[in-house]
Amino acid sequence: MAETTMTHTSQMEPRPAGWRGIAADWASDQRAFKNVSWGKAMMWIFLLSDTFIFGCFLLSYMTARISTRVPWPNPSEVFALRIGGSEIPLILIAIMTFVLISSSGTMAMAVNFGYRRDRRKTAILMLLTAALGATFVGMQAFEWTKLITEGVRPWGNPWGAAQFGSCFFMITGFHGTHVTIGVIFLIIVARKVWRGDFDIGRSGFFTSRRGRYENVEIMGLYWHFVDLVWVFIFAFFYLW
Amino acid sequence: MAEATANGLGQHALHATHAQDGATAAVAPAEVHQEHPIKLYLVVWAWLFILSTCSYLVDYFGIHGYLRWSLILIFMMLKAGLIVAVFMHMAWERLAMMYAIILPPILVLVFVTMMVFEADYTLLTRIAFFGPGP
């Protein structure tokens, strides 16, 4: 398969810059993404479809919030925590944001050490990323518990528009699921790196194909995407 | 890569001469690996922290109205741009790839516009039938 469909950059005609180059890349009888491996291109396309899913969630939240006659609960007060006798607005969400950004930072560095073939540092940084991700999910569980005990339900809440609960559980729940899946896969890939699977070309347990250090970068793409989605949720749901 | 900017009929001639030299025969490896200095990631990481703090302070100081919304959107777009460009290495990808991934989400804005009109209409209908909110 690879021999007939792949077009290597080294055998390729030089391309014009800008839009003419894009048109040339997408022209018929060739591979569109020249120097991007299939694994990476497919992960990007999956992330694009995931973007649409989260886009639709945020859109439905926007529609619900605009179209209700009842005032929307103030997220600044709803997500405030009492620390040391004073109410600090949105503090838990801010900490969660910093935790997720830090995990993105450690992941980016894991990818970097992966390409330098530093097995130890890559695996440790990936496990650190997984730990930060798990911390994030834990804090989200705490937040859900707090809101549920305060009486937030998908069909109503004590402070205002009934749609608040359903939007909150849907959006943060789906994002939390993504983080959880990411943590599981981080641990799996970190184990492979630690064992040296990518150095000796050991077959994967699921696809039976040899992995490469690029797998770390593909894993990183997914993890950064989870962080990216949180940037939008933080802006539109918590701050707006 | 000077020949990347050349276009039209000149390409073949250019390529042929280079092949004869042997100096630039190999244009690029088949798959480009992303290797950048660690410092770059640390700088971006610091910026993400600063921008997150800024967007949190917007809420902390209780800024309201158009200033609040524009600040939130600016900080959000800057953060998203940094993550996609540097952490996800999009800045170093081929242009055909960049446009294929980044253009479609921007088209969601059309959907947003449609739903803003739809939601406004729903609100008007609700006010007309049930009266203004409680």
Q: pLDDT tens digits for A165-176?
A: 999 999 999 999
Burial of A3-28, coded b for 16+ CB within 10 Å and e otherwise, reads eeeebebeebebbbeeeebbebbeee
Chain B residues with beta carbon closer than 8 angstroms to that of A227 = 83, 87
Residue range(s) occupied by CATH 1.20.120.80 in chain A: 38-239
**Residues B82-101: what's their mean pLDDT?**
90
Smallest CA–CA distance from A7 into chain B, residue: B30
Cα angle, residue A131 at apex, residues A127 and A137 outer, rounded to 5°: 140
- Cα–Cα separations (whole angstroms), residue A2 to A33, A37, A38: 14, 11, 10
Average pLDDT of chain B is: 79
What is the pLDDT at residue B35?
75
DSSP string, A175-209: HHHHHHHHHHHHHHHHHHHHHTHHHHTPBPTTT--
Whole-angstrom distance, CA of residue A75 vs CA of residue A93: 10
Rounded to the nearest integer, the mean pLDDT of chain A is 88
Distance separating the N- and C-terminal Cα atoms of chain B? 67
Residue A168 or A2, more confident: A168
- CB contact (8 A) between residue B105 and residue A48: yes
Residue A40: pLDDT above 70? yes
Question: B130–A21: do the CB atoms touch at under 8 Å?
Answer: no
pLDDT in tens, A45-77: 999 999 999 999 999 999 999 999 999 998 888
Number of helices (H), then strands (E), belonging to chain A: the values are: 9, 2
- Nearest-CA residue of chain B relative to A38? B31
Residue A237 carries which DSSP code? I
Q: Which pLDDT does position A3 carry in this prediction?
A: 42
Q: Return the percentage of chain B with pLDDT > 90, whole number.
A: 53
In chain B, DSSP finds a helix count (H) and a strand count (E) of 4, 0
Helix (H) or strand (E) holding A88: strand A86-88
Burial class for B98, CB neighbours closer than 10 Å (0-12, 13-18, 19+): middle
pLDDT of A208 over the 50 cut:
yes
Spell A72-101 as b/e; 16+ CB within 10 A means b: bbebbebbbbeeeeeeebbbbbbebbbbbb
Closest Cα in chain B, distance from residue A116 (Å): 8
CA distance A206 to chain B (A): 24
Chain A residues close to B60, C-beta within 8 Å: 89-90
- Give the span between the Cα atoms of A137 and B96, in whole angstroms: 36
pLDDT recorded at residue B3: 38
Mean predicted confidence (pLDDT) in A107-132? 93
Each residue of B1-59: pLDDT tens digit?
A: 343 433 333 334 434 444 433 333 334 444 556 678 889 999 999 999 999 999 999 98
- What residues contact A160, with CB distance under 8 A and at least 6 apart? A70, A71, A72, A73
Q: Which CATH code for domain A38-239?
A: 1.20.120.80
Q: What is the pLDDT of residue A13?
A: 67
Residue of A nearest to B113 (CA): A59
**Residue range A103-111: mean pLDDT, rounded:** 94
Rounded CA separation A25/A142 (Å): 49
Res A197: pLDDT: 85
Residues of chain B in contact with residue A45, where contact means CB-CB under 8 angstroms, are 101
For chains A and B, count residue pairs whose Cβ atoms are closer than 8 Å. Answer: 200
pLDDT confidence tier of residue A11, bands split at 50, 70 and 90: low
Write out residues 108-127 of B within 8 Å (CB-CB) of A. Answer: 108, 111-112, 115-116, 118-120, 122-123, 126-127
